[in-house]
Amino acid sequence: MYSTDIMRAEHDNIFTFLGAVRALCCQVLEGLPLPVNDFRKIIAFARNYSDHQHHGKEENFLFNEMVANLGPIADKLINHGMLVEHDLCRRHIMDLEIALNLYERDPKPIHKLDILEAAEGYATVLHRHISKENSVVYPLAERSFSEEIVLRIDRQVQAFESKTSEEGVQDHYLAMMNELRDKYGQIEDQHDKADKSVSLAAAFGRQHKSKSAD
Ligand SMILES: [Fe+2]
Ligand SMILES: [Fe+2]
């Protein structure tokens, strides 16, 4: 499906961007003077590429068709999952901007901490979000849509892509992504790398309760 192929390629670019965000945050923790302008670039990329260019297509062309045509599972997945997570990403970027503004006025450690927390929180939420789309949400759309719906979405995505390409959006933000990657390198998400993962049930204390009930 042309439109999900384009969106999966954008996921790969966003993963590269998030790798640079983590690497930059780690370098600040190691003592690099906080590069305010590069954090402003992170905000610009997050808003204009990850959000407008990518989430915009999902929300306006793909998810709306899933909710309208694929029943209660799609409704739950999109309205109570994906859209909530898009908003969480926006909230992290808002927090990042607020903390950066405060830091520029008064470079206190708490503002620096809030900057790193917002940037890393954004990277973690978006990494998990994209992984779910790649493995669950897009495959559901790809295997369930009729040919007519696929054609309609593909046409809309194609028109959006040519318009933004004429405006130079993709070139501009992919150059920014490469610049950040070349400057700071890449660090992968580490949350699922532990030898023994902590289950959600254990995180909510359910495991403990059931053991004590034995
Ligand atoms: Fe999304
Ligand atoms: Fe996505």
108 Cα to the center of ligand 2, angstroms: 35
* pLDDT higher than 90, residue 194: no
* pLDDT higher than 60, residue 209: no
43 Cα to the center of ligand 2, angstroms: 17
11 Cα to the center of ligand 2, angstroms: 6
207 Cα to the center of ligand 1, angstroms: 32
Is the whole model's pTM more than 0.75, yes or no?
yes
Region 139-148 average pLDDT: 98
Average pLDDT over the chain reads 95
pLDDT for residue 150: 98
58 confidence band (pLDDT: 50, 70, 90): very high
pLDDT for residue 207: 64
125 Cα to the center of ligand 2, angstroms: 12
Percent pLDDT > 90 in the chain is 89
pLDDT for residue 182: 98
Q: Please give the full DSSP string across the chain, using - where no structure is assigned.
A: -HHHHHHHHHHHHHHHHHHHHHHHHHHHHTT----HHHHHHHHHHIIIIIIIIIIHHIIIIIIHHHHHHSHHHHHHHIIIIIHHHHHHHHHHHHHHHHHHHHHHH---HHHHHHHHHHHHHHHHHHHHHHHHIIIIIHHHHHHHS-HHHHHHHHHHHHHHHHHHHHTTHHHHHHHHHHHHHHHH------TT-SSSPPPHHHHTTHHHHHHHH-
- Domains identified in the chain and CATH numbers: 2-188 (1.20.120.520)
110 Cα to the center of ligand 1, angstroms: 30
209 Cα to the center of ligand 2, angstroms: 37
133 Cα to the center of ligand 2, angstroms: 6
Q: Nearest ligand to the C-alpha of residue 138? A: 2
Residues 88-106: tens digit of each pLDDT = 999 999 999 999 999 999 9
Q: Nearest ligand to the C-alpha of residue 54? A: 2
pLDDT for residue 21: 98
pLDDT for residue 131: 97
Q: Nearest ligand to the C-alpha of residue 78? A: 1
